[in-house]
Amino acid sequence: QQIELNDRNVMRLLVNRADEIVISRMDAAGREQLIPIKLDQLKDYDVDFIMNPEEKPYLPELEGREIEGLGNRKVVTSGYALSIKNEVETSYQQYVNVQNELIKAYNEVWDAFAKKEFGGKSFEALTPSEKKSVQDAYPMHISEMALSNLAKK
């Protein structure tokens, strides 16, 4: 299903045939910025994107949202997404590595939010309903675009 997303609410990760990772995002003037990053930087970029703790104008918008069991909380818009596009020649190992970093990022986000909202308890120590509240606050929105040959035609 097609959903219209504000550019700032989408992190576009491009992984090319040389297994290099680039974040594509729009700057304030609407121009595309390409930011090359290393695999070991990806999780931190993702955490910053998912939470936008400093309310940066190029990261997802924050909104007040009713979170079941917690009440109204200021969290990132539910209309955000991490979008991954791999070239056909991207190695399977790099594909798996990128996926693993995204999962690590969500685990870190959920753990930080759990500790803040539930008196220092880790995400893993929460009850199922408490875990659901955390995941409602920061739902996992990962979109994989069809494999391509990233070159513009």
- CB distance 23 to 12 below 8 Å: yes
**pLDDT (average), residues 69-85:** 93
pLDDT band at 153 (very low <50, low <70, confident <90, very high): very low
Residues 6+ away with beta carbon under 8 Å from 24: 12, 13, 14, 32, 33, 34, 35
Tell me what the pLDDT averaged over the chain comes to: 90
Where do we find the tokens 């939470």?
51
**pLDDT (average), residues 56-68:** 92
**pLDDT (average), residues 61-77:** 94
Specify the pTM.
0.88
pLDDT band at 119 (very low <50, low <70, confident <90, very high): very high
Q: Quick one: which of 48, 53, 5 has its CA closest to 23?
A: 48
**pLDDT (average), residues 120-133:** 97
Pairing of strands 142-144, 81-86: parallel
- CB distance 75 to 67 below 8 Å: yes
Name the residue type at position 152.
K
